[in-house]
Chain A
Amino acid sequence: MVWETVIGIETHVQLSTKTKLFSRASTEFGKSPNTNVNLIDCGLPGVLPSVNKEAFYKAIRFGLAVGAKINQTSIFDRKNYFYADLPKGYQITQMDLPIVLGGTLDIETEEGIKTVNITRAHLEEDAGKSIHDQFDGYSAIDLNRAGTPLLEIVSEPEISSAKEAVAYMKAMHQLVTYLDVSDGNMSQGSLRCDANVSVRKVGDTELGTRTEIKNINSFRFVEKAINFEVKRQIKQLENGETVTQETRLYDSIKDETRPMRSKEFANDYRYFPEPDLVPVTVTEEQVNEIRSAMGEPPSVLRKTLADRWKIPANDAGVLVNQGPELVRYFEDLATRVGEGKVASNWMQQDVLRTLNERGGNITDFPVRPEAVADIIARVQKGDFDTSRGREIFASVVEKGASVAEVVAGMGIAAVDDGDLRALCEELIAENPKIVADVKGGKEQAAGGLIGKAKRKNPNVNPAKVRALAIELIQALP
């Protein structure tokens, strides 16, 4: 029997806003328990929520990047359930009128680019945390996370394997970090997903019964959890059993999924429109403002960059994945250099490598595009070769000095033509074998003189040495 897998993914993205979705409390991660909490977050009697506009703008930016419809009026709803870390006894979320409707996300599969349709994305608040293992006989509640804004992005059931699911999550991660919608920090729970998994016989049009694997927080676990679940479902069906529609949890230690206790999910959430919040409206102008401020979405930008600067798609991909600030840095450099490929090489080999080693943000990087362009220009002029240029780059980073200062400090100065001639003549006299080879027609043998020349004077230009040496040898009787 040949089976096919159908997967739909709900991604929970924690928006990187300074304050919470409905209060002014900070969202900073890692603070002492219950310090990022105000009256609203702990659900005191009489308090009311107010919407954080920044969260809305980020949600809209995401929607525009995936080509979705932005609902100009979106409303909040209450999802009612009791839990100790849910202070109000309900979560404020969006049901019927989410902010983002539709859209697509391109993912990279072994067969090429695949477009996955997005059903919707809505804003909601996160719950707090229950801590069960720190106080003997008590559970503790930390409300720091309560009210943190989440964007829940729901895909259509169009993902056909665990690998594709990982590709989807990676593309999502890239997109939300590129857009600065989220910090994408998976270990801190900023990006996590629920996977709806079902299998069916190839050729069937009806979907099989699905199970939902909750709260997966790494790419590796997405793959492992889905693979386990697909095998489990197929085995069950092949044994003539049925799949039960249920919610399951992935245990990464045992590498298996198992059903949640029915008490944990058998809820009637009694959704109804949140009467404490008026519907939120966004005007056409506001959406346009966000659109023009965000520039091209990454999928389009990759192609634009590759075309505009005549660089390989792979180069463009690497640059875009680092975010808009780095793309701006690159374009500044490429404009100064005038050659995209040369600028891209320096970006990949020097700027990015150093940035990764040092950590931090490209906007704080000590070597600005004009300095890199200066080094490249000197290389192109023949002041020194590329490897020397790279030493200079490293030195500029290290010393925080200007290119001119570093060049002067290293004693690099253009070698006088007379001195160069004297040096070449000296080399010709000392290397009769090479001279004979060149004279005999093997011009490449002149390369052997370059290293020797550099040892005598590190500032000589290898190309000039080569040309002058050949000229002098040919002129020999």
Chain B
Amino acid sequence: MSIQFKTIRELRDMLDTKAISCEELANDTHKLAEDLKELNCFVTMNKDASIEKSKIIDQAEKADSVLSGIPLAQKDLFCTEGLRTTCSSKILSNFIPPYTATAVMKLESAGSITIGKTNMDEFAMGSSNETSYFGNVHNPWKKGYVPGGSSGGSAAAVAAGIVPAATGTDTGGSIRQPAAHCGITGIKPTYGRVSRWGMIAFASSLDQAGPLARSAEDCAILLNEMSGHDSKDTTSLDIESTDLLHTINQPIKGLKIGIVKEFSLGDLDSEVQNRFEDSKKLYESLGAEFVEISLPNISASVPTYYSIAPAECSSNLSRFDGVRFGHRAENTDDLNDLYIKSRSEGFGDEVKRRILIGTYALSAGYYDAYYKKAQQVRRLIKNDFALAFESIDLIMTPTSPGTAFAFGSKGTQNPIELYLEDLFTISSNLAGLPAISIPHGKVNSMPAGLQLIGNFLREDQILNAAHIFQQNSSFHLDKPSMEEF
């Protein structure tokens, strides 16, 4: 029986009924990944260790966790002990971490099996996976099209049915936008729900790890395991863990959904608008109410984000200097030369661009005008959301203004064109709020995503609303033909 396109639930059944052993499942997954190598969604495979682990799990009497023996893929910015972790950058192309990120550790402790490390935009900077040192990832729905980014490899691996779920990280939309472009479900949790220990930082105050899967239910299964306070990350929230599986499948009658007035949806492709209207009707038919809300400062979110994120990245990426780990240039004259050459050779253009923007935004004489101002605007945006959530339960937007595009067709002349991909997703990172993207049909034969933004720590509400949507529609069950691969 093929394991392709199976959900966690389906694989769990197959394992529990002994229709397949863990070892067979691991082997089949590697075979599938090998057959679909052309997608380029993996940077490094974890073949020997994963099969080893599957054998051990097979020896156990009974699975003690829903994830026991389930193959997963990890975005290549989570440190994995003994397994190369590159951030899809040349500068880390030889880096083997001596420790494992908390989020991955938790998933592995629950019995899941890390199959490999997925391709991504270099250091998670990009929205098309085209900045990877290891090459473009194809969108499983159409060869030569981007999977979105930065968690493009994870999204493609799930959409292609190689693994039922994968980890991603989201700084401005990097889980949700690729999930939308690949026709799968992805959730960015509340800032602080998942520990950042071992997640190689892009922008510390915005980065958050989360799952990508074939359904909201599977996202809940992964998020349950990934969540929780970690004493190694002071920004992780010290909250009681709630079982997110337990809170899905609640009726949504009377649920109040906000539509943001300032997101002028009328300017979008009419097909994108049509999908959005269809989803609205579906929710209305299930008893939800729609309210127009105002987020007066939301139009400033893209420039705010592109001041804060590069500023933090310029500092976070200073440690990649060729001194202690990673790529070191040869034949250097002195320390300065070592820095300049190692970093010039090791980083790609987009990373360099953001380091430059960020260094500028933090430099003397510009700090007040850029970084400080951006932080003030960020506070205003946060307040806008807080006020809006006093009268609504969640906010609905398209995940992305458009759908997946062809390699090289966007942002090559003007990077800002690509930055606007994140128009609808960025604000929830600035406000630290949870948001999910679910597939809701096709636009010009490519998947389109619907975003639900929840109030602080209300993952239960957006997962429930997403699950109810998926119980009453079949968009998430659509599979790419994969004929081109």
Chain A interface (Cβ < 8 Å from any Cβ of B): 39, 42-51, 78, 80, 82-84, 87-90, 139, 141, 268, 270-272, 275-278
Contact = CB atoms under 8 A, between A and B. Distances in A.
A45 to B, nearest CB: 4
B261 interface: no
B205 A275 contact: yes
Interface stretch (B173-181, B268-276, B357-365, B434-442): B357-365
A88 B312 contact: no
A87 B325 CA distance: 11
B389 interface: no
A276 B367 contact: no
> Which 7 A-B residue pairings sit nearest by Cβ, starting from the closest?
A89-B318, A270-B362, A275-B204, A275-B205, A45-B200, A46-B198, A43-B319
16 contacts: A44-B325, A45-B79, A45-B200, A46-B77, A46-B101, A46-B201, A47-B197, A80-B314, A80-B362, A89-B321, A141-B324, A268-B363, A270-B315, A270-B363, A270-B364, A272-B315
Interface stretch (B158-166, B227-235, B248-256, B398-406): B227-235
B485 interface: no
A89 B234 contact: no
Contact of A276 (B204, B311, B319, B359): B204
Given A47-B197, A82-B318, A270 B367 contact: yes
B456 interface: no
A326 B95 CA distance: 54
Contact of B324 (A87, A271, A272): A87
Interface string B84-121: 01010000100101110100000000000000000000
Interface in B176-228: 196-201, 203-205
A90 B312 CA distance: 12
Interface string B346-374: 00000000000001001110010001000
B90 to A, nearest CB: 14
Given A39-B98, A45-B200, A277-B234, A78 B315 contact: yes
B475 interface: no
A82 B339 contact: yes
A89 B319 contact: yes
Interface residues of B, number: 45
Nearest to B360: A270
Contacts of B200: 45-46
B237 to A, nearest CB: 10
A48 B85 contact: no
A44 B97 contact: yes
Contacts of A49: 234
A175 to B, nearest CB: 31
A384 to B, nearest CB: 62
Contact of B335 (A84, A268, A271): A84
Contacts of A268: 363-364
B384 to A, nearest CB: 21
A147 to B, nearest CB: 14
A293 to B, nearest CB: 25
Interface centre among B205, B231, B234 (most CB of A within 10 A): B234
A325 B85 CA distance: 53
A222 to B, nearest CB: 31
Contact of A90 (B78, B92, B235, B318): B318
Nearest to B196: A48
B311 A272 contact: yes
A82 B311 contact: no
Contacts of A276: 201, 204, 234-235
B197 A275 contact: no
Contacts of B317: 89
B387 interface: no
Contacts of B231: 50
Contacts of B323: 84, 87, 141
Interface centre among B204, B323, B363, B367 (most CB of A within 10 A): B323
A46 B321 contact: no
Contacts of A80: 314-315, 318, 362
Contacts of B321: 82, 84, 89
B315 A90 contact: yes
A42 B320 CA distance: 12
A278 B235 CA distance: 6
Interface in B321-353: 321, 323-325, 335, 339
A141 B322 CA distance: 13
A75 to B, nearest CB: 12
A48 to B, nearest CB: 5
Contact of A89 (B99, B196, B315): B315
